[in-house]
Structure 1
Amino acid sequence: MAKDHRAGAAAASAARMRKRIGKTTSNSAGSGAMSTPADSASANLRLSRRAMLAGGVGASVLVALPDVLVAAPARAAVTAPDAATAAPGAAVPAHFFLYGTSGPTSPPTMQNLRPPASRAAAVPTPSTVGTGLAARPARSADGASVAYPTVQTGPGGADVTLTVVEAASGATQTASTLRLPGVPADASVLVRPVFAGTTTIAVVIAVSEPAGWHTFRKDGATGAAITTPSATWTTHHVLAYLDRATGKYTGPFDLADAPSLAWTDSVADAENLYLWTMREPAVSVGTKGAPLPTPPVRLLTFPLGSGRPGASVRSAGHWPGGGTGLVLSTGEVARVADGRDLEVYSPGSTAASRRVKFAEFQIETAKPGATNVHQRPDGTLVISNAAFGRAVVVDPAAGFRTVSALEFPRPKIALGGPDAKTALSADGSVLYTLGSMAAGGLSAYDLSSGRLVATYGDGSHYAGVYQLPSGSVLGVVGEQTGSRLGFFTAALSLLGASSTDMFVAEVF
């Protein structure tokens, strides 16, 4: 796996790694990932357990590019008169960010971006923002900032650095380091930033520590014996809270919750951090002769700045998939459950979380598809699943009643690569989808009527689609040597194209 950079790119997408995470947390034999201290000479030749859990092989990188419609990196904010979805004279972020992996010796590069001169005064120039990320970045609700974590472990502990970048200029706003003493040098430290309100970023840290290092031999595919290092891993979580204004942390708070999953679902509002987590099944199922029930998922509510949960309820959903939840217009919080439902919880209530099902998604499918949830300005949600070729508009304020529904041809790449298989226009009226399995390209649908309003086709099968802050549409095509980006107007007219040897896992 470490020799196949395409597999590394696939791993960079959390959607591809999520179901492996809990299965590899108690014993590394399945991954063959971490070397023993005695075998440190060949450590760089193996896929580390941290890389497995973080969803990356090779060097995880974050690259900033100016938006083709508002390419003015020297200005802190720019106006977008050509952006169909921006209010006249409104300031919009000038940059977007690519997250993914490159080869172990190949730096991320961008070539051949040629937007028409009438749309941009200069060819956008990419810049590397960060390398060696400990997990995927996060973007603030207003789109103005992106935060990414890095980790350095050593004999004295681990240093967790959270860097916050301004989307308008691509410049660093703050970079603050949190010291975790006592973390062994061979531990895996994963970090998830969660924006909360306007000034706070909650930092959820999973510390996985190995014990009982040993090696075992097994027959390889060619019949030759392979020696594989192995250890038993135990994970616990640490919380901290960064004040973006001062650059100071509150915490860290050690939750002492081992053994637990090395990943969680999470979301935060202006008052609380919400974590969906569970004990690791691998260490909770008893023996083969006397198995124990799979441990339940729980939803924990932490008041911001606190290391103790104010509430703990049984979750109506299943395994945490490392996803980001939603804060709804009703004040409730939600996450996708089993790829087709929503789990919804009302903070402050005594009721447990509940599962909301949608008739349009209760169908059988041979392969799961990526489910995207978009919030519209009026508070309604657009929920789509590429494998089903269906999207619904639901109203949380009306008990999640279905307002409208549409069907679209199923794309070739309904799962894998970037998570975003659909994108929503800023005014919430148009849904962009990947093109059909036969034709490829991109399509745009009017959500009120379900009518197809625009298409673009060049035979390419896109793996992800995004709307950038200026109103332009970005499509991502996975290739054997990296990724290709296509830039379009809101009406899906081609603006330009770009290639990179980076395997793009997500766009922020």
Structure 2
Amino acid sequence: MLKHGRTGTPGAPASKQGTVSRRTVLAGTAGASVLVALPDVLVAAPARASVSTAPNPDLATAPAHFFLYGSIGPLSTPNLQGWRPPTVRGAAPPAPRVVGSGIAARPARSADGTTVAFPTVSTAPGVASVTLTLVDAATSTIETSATLALPGVPADASVLVRPVFAGSATVALVVAVTVPTNWHTFRKAAPDGPAVTTPSATWTTHHVLAYLDRASGMFAGPFDLADAPSLAWTDAAADANHLYLWTLREPAVSVGTKQKPLPAPPTRLLTFPLGSGKPSRAVRSAGAWPNGATGLVLATGDVARVAEGRDLEVYSPRTGTSTRIAFAELRLESARAGATTVHDRPDGTLVIANAAFGRALVVDPAASFRTVTVLDYPRPKVALGGPDAKTALSPDGAVLYTLGSATAGGLSAYEIATGDLVATSSDGAHFSGVYQLPSGTLLAVNGNDSGSQLGFFSPTLARLGASSTDMYVAEVF
């Protein structure tokens, strides 16, 4: 990625200035700080007949923990916490336990929910080391920790790591290595004070792949893709056989000059056999620029990702075709499309929900993504910003939980088959995210000036308890 860094620590050597800011920008979660674990225990609550409380068939082996990922402050290093909901209604949950710190990028959770992976990075002259840690969600203890050496990476480089679970045996790593060159300084006049000396550099990104074998704890790779200059952001997905990677050539060096403009570079979709650094197929993507999202492997075997907030890009590994699916029901006027959440249901259909529109669709991938159901609900107060998870789906796929309306707040539950509102819960709090935990407990997150509030609810939206954390929660795993 070609870019000029313009922030740094006053008085630091030019070769070191701007490094923290650059990493923060690339990670996309400014000051991301902690991965924390709490055990997940469902508290019995009076059931309401109209609300589905069907047991999760996987509950006997469901993970015992959920994990908070977020920030303790703008200068804190990334960490991970593990939490458990309260075991007695109205009581505070057990104290969280920090299970990871200094995290280099957003963690990932395996498809079966049993493992959470997070990367950390350390740099030394001439080498960067990426450590991938796998945490057992049942116990919140470390299952595997393996380190990958990246020789030739300067100490002031920024290394952004994306872990992607590939089936049950492999975790792929997509590493963006952004190297600064041509460090220099320039003076910039300040409107209300003396001129400021600011460091600057040219940053160029290339990508590296590696694959962790979970049985042996050993890496295959690293495989340098030699694709500089590239956009540091990538989107990715994987199945048991292949890694699917969306990449883009750095636009700043690909559009030509003002006198001789060139077309914007297209997004490419590369298919890598697991364990390989050479793509078996490269096609032009029908979707938008990569934005760091994780794709979804559908029951049909196709791979999907959200494109520009309201469409899906669907790639078929069988035919090698990439298709953009637009839904007429989401072609609504809005200044911003907002975050779209895609939930997969046990029957293979998808729930596509967008809080900025106050609308959710049930679509059928096996029937050319035909819209089966449209469900409308009031827009919440926090439709944009905060965690992307503005809706949650019950384990049986029958109930959609949404953030409450902009006036009432709280949470609401809708029966998907009918669109009926079947439960509400509100004490005036306006949540910014909602999550379905493995046991059936619902977790709602509400940010404030000193961190985040956590609210725990039963499937019938009976309030089970609350807690607070000094973390600004970015995601829950």
After TM superposition, give the deviation of residue 216 of structure 1 in Å: 1.8
- CA shift in 2, pair 1:244/1:115, >3 Å: same
Q: Within 2, Cα distance between the matches of 1:223 and 1:85?
A: 64
Q: Which letter maps to 1:296?
A: P
SS in 2 for 1:316: coil
After TM superposition, give the deviation of residue 34 of structure 1 in Å: 7.8
SS in 1 for 2:180: strand
Calculate the TM-score normalised by the size of structure 1.
0.87
- CA shift in 2, pair 1:410/1:273, >3 Å: same
Q: Deviations over 1:259-280 (max 9, x none)?
A: 0010100000011000011101
Kept in 1, the 8 Å contact 2:432–2:444? The answer is yes
Residue 386 of structure 1 is matched in structure 2 by: 355
Kept in 2, the 8 Å contact 1:296–1:315? The answer is yes
Kept in 1, the 8 Å contact 2:286–2:323? The answer is yes
Of 372, 382, 400, the residue aligned with 1:403 is 372
**2:161 equivalent to 1:191:** yes
Of 382, 390, 394, the residue aligned with 1:425 is 394
- CA shift in 2, pair 1:311/1:35, >3 Å: farther
**2:467 equivalent to 1:492:** no
Map of 1:3-82 to 2, 5 A cutoff? 25-29=1-5, 32-33=7-8, 38-39=13-14, 43=17, 47-58=20-31, 60-69=33-42
Greater Cα offset, 238-247 or 59-68: 59-68
**2:410 equivalent to 1:469:** no
Calculate the TM-score normalised by the size of structure 2.
0.93
Of 115, 118, 129, the residue aligned with 2:86 is 115
- CA shift in 2, pair 1:35/1:165, >3 Å: farther
Kept in 2, the 8 Å contact 1:84–1:490? The answer is no
Kept in 1, the 8 Å contact 2:15–2:156? The answer is no
**2:133 equivalent to 1:163:** yes
- CA shift in 2, pair 1:290/1:105, >3 Å: closer
Q: Deviations over 1:196-240 (max 9, x none)?
A: 011100100000000111112223353442222111111000000
Of 230, 234, 250, the residue aligned with 2:204 is 234
Kept in 2, the 8 Å contact 1:165–1:174? The answer is yes
Q: Within 2, Cα distance between the matches of 1:313 and 1:114?
A: 45
Q: Which letter maps to 1:26?
A: L
Q: Deviations over 1:99-131 (max 9, x none)?
A: 011124699899x998362699x9422100111
Map of 1:120-269 to 2, 5 A cutoff? 123-269=93-239
Identical residues among aligned pairs (%)? 66
Of 60, 73, 76, the residue aligned with 1:90 is 60
RMSD value, Cα? 2.5
**Is there any run of 5+ residues in structure 1 with no aligned partner, and where?**
1-24, 72-82
SS in 1 for 2:410: strand
Residue 282 of structure 1 is matched in structure 2 by: 252
**2:305 equivalent to 1:335:** yes
Bigger fraction of residues in helix: 1
Residue 8 of structure 1 is matched in structure 2 by: none
Residue 356 of structure 1 is matched in structure 2 by: 325
Greater Cα offset, 175-184 or 51-60: 51-60
Kept in 2, the 8 Å contact 1:195–1:202? The answer is yes
Q: Within 1, Cα distance between the matches of 2:260 and 2:441?
A: 57
After TM superposition, give the deviation of residue 286 of structure 1 in Å: 1.3
Q: Within 1, Cα distance between the matches of 2:337 and 2:59?
A: 42
Q: Within 1, Cα distance between the matches of 2:246 and 2:55?
A: 35
SS in 2 for 1:475: strand
Q: Within 2, Cα distance between the matches of 1:337 and 1:217?
A: 40
Q: Within 2, Cα distance between the matches of 1:59 and 1:260?
A: 24
Q: Which letter maps to 1:179?
A: A
Q: Within 2, Cα distance between the matches of 1:114 and 1:423?
A: 17
Greater Cα offset, 314-323 or 411-420: 411-420
Q: Within 1, Cα distance between the matches of 2:334 and 2:67?
A: 33
**2:329 equivalent to 1:365:** no
Kept in 1, the 8 Å contact 2:89–2:464? The answer is no
Q: Within 1, Cα distance between the matches of 2:280 and 2:399?
A: 40
Kept in 1, the 8 Å contact 2:133–2:146? The answer is yes
Residue 47 of structure 2 is matched in structure 1 by: none
Greater Cα offset, 99-108 or 312-321: 99-108
Q: Which letter maps to 1:394?
A: V
Q: Within 2, Cα distance between the matches of 1:100 and 1:252?
A: 29
Q: Deviations over 1:344-382 (max 9, x none)?
A: 1110314x3011111110111022311000000000000
Map of 1:438-457 to 2, 5 A cutoff? 438-457=407-426
Kept in 2, the 8 Å contact 1:276–1:299? The answer is yes
- CA shift in 2, pair 1:395/1:62, >3 Å: same
Q: Which letter maps to 1:320?
A: P
SS in 1 for 2:286: coil
Kept in 2, the 8 Å contact 1:235–1:258? The answer is yes
Q: Deviations over 1:53-104 (max 9, x none)?
A: 1123335211111114289xxxxxxxxxxx8532497221110000011124
Q: Within 2, Cα distance between the matches of 1:236 and 1:115?
A: 45
- CA shift in 2, pair 1:129/1:222, >3 Å: same
Q: Within 2, Cα distance between the matches of 1:107 and 1:308?
A: 32
Q: Which letter maps to 1:163?
A: T
